[in-house]
């Protein structure tokens, strides 16, 4: 992408109300970019205005919300240079237990809403023959944990989507980058644990579900997970690099766990995941 280090390039980052998105928005603003932070709960982004960041109400499940956000940026800035697709959530539960509507909602947030946002920004990036789309995936798009089928399915889909997108839009001068975090100390694991316990109630998977939820809560409260700043730093690097890598696999456990998934027989890896991940 031409001139990514110049100031006042315009960035839209989703999921900016907390965690990785919140930290990344601040870092990018400090680097001199004009940052728009999108999230459903605008009131949680008010502190970002102290850094010159513009909060936008953005709900990935509502197409009109996405169109309004992109239209406003174009109206106010005239261009959009970088899209950071960071918003997403994890809903755990046994496949038999998770209602299909909940599975669809996870796809709506983690893949279809993201895809719609990509469709909205691409015409503007093509017209300027430059741009960068950074999709925050997960090591969950490269391996699978116990009782996380639907969440992993969305991240595997995002990996394939990003690879195809990268090939399609390269001729227009637009880069696609995938960031694949490992274990990061955010509320993600606690939310996943809540969904897991709720979906496991009064089912054959109840004992397994409660045990896995307990492990998730322990890992995300006392475990040696990476801080969100690490992923924010990686996003900033991907934004500012003249030639970014196509993938950044970073954070606690990411590289060793993905490596083990690559080299171990399936049943060995299954046993490893159920005991340690």
**Residue 277, pLDDT score:** 83
Residue 174's DSSP bridge partners are 131
Q: Per CATH, the architecture of 10-187+224-276 is what? A: 3-Layer(aba) Sandwich (3.40)
Active site residue 205: no
Active-site entry in 151, 156, 205, 220: 151
In angstroms, the CA 243 to CA 178 distance is: 13
Instruction: State pTM to two decimals.
Output: 0.94
Is residue 128 scored above 80 in pLDDT?
A: yes
User: Does residue 5 register a pLDDT over 90?
Assistant: no
User: 61-77 in b/e burial notation, b at 16+ Cβ within 10 A?
Assistant: eeeebbeebbeebbeee
- Give dist(CA 37, CA 24) in Å, integer: 10
Q: Across residues 150-160, what is the average pLDDT?
A: 98
Task: Give residues with Cβ within 8 angstroms of 192, minimum separation 6.
Answer: 90, 91, 92, 148, 151, 216
pLDDT at position 51, please? 97
| Residues 63-108 pLDDT 10s | 999 999 999 999 999 999 999 999 999 889 999 999 999 999 999 9
Q: Does residue 58 have a pLDDT over 50?
A: yes
| 179: nearest Cα among 227, 142, 126 | 142
Ranges of beta strands (E only) in 142-186 are 174-181
Q: What is the C-alpha to C-alpha distance for residues 84 and 14, in angstroms, rounded to an integer?
A: 6
Confidence category of residue 6, pLDDT binned at 50, 70, 90: very low
Residue 2 has what pLDDT? 40
Can you tell me the distance from the alpha carbon of 201 to that of 250, in angstroms, rounded to the nearest whole number? Answer: 34
Is the model's pLDDT at 4 over the cut of 70?
no
- Whether 160 has a pLDDT exceeding 90, the answer reads yes
**What is Dmax (Cα atoms) for the chain?**
57
């Amino acid at each position: 992408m031409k001139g990514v280090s110049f100031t006042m390039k315009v960035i839209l980052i989703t999921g900016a109300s907390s965690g990785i998105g919140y930290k990344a928005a601040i870092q990018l603003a400090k680097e001199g970019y004009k940052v728009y932070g999108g999230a459903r709960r605008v009131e949680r982004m008010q502190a970002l205005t102290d850094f010159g960041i513009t909060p936008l109400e953005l709900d990935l499940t509502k197409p009109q919300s996405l169109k309004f956000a992109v239209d406003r940026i174009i109206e106010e800035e005239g261009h959009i240079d970088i899209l950071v697709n960071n918003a997403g959530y994890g809903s755990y539960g046994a496949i038999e237990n998770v209602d299909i509507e909940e599975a669809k909602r996870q796809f709506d947030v983690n893949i279809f809403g993201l895809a719609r946002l990509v469709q909205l920004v691409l015409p503007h990036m093509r017209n300027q023959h430059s741009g960068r789309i950074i999709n925050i995936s997960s090591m969950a798009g490269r391996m699978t944990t116990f009782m996380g089928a639907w969440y992993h399915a969305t991240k595997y889909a995002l990996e394939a989507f990003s690879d195809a997108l990268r090939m399609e839009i390269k001729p227009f001068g637009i880069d696609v980058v995938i960031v694949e975090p490992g274990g990061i100390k955010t509320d993600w694991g606690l939310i996943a644990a809540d969904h897991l316990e709720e979906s496991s109630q009064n089912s054959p998977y109840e004992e397994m579900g409660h045990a896995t939820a307990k492990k998730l809560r322990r890992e995300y409260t006392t475990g040696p997970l990476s801080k969100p700043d690490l992923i924010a730093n990686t996003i900033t690097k991907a934004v500012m690099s003249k030639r970014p890598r196509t993938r950044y696999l970073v954070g606690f456990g990411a590289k060793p766990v993905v490596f083990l998934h690559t080299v171990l027989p399936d049943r060995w890896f299954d046993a490893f995941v159920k005991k340690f991940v």
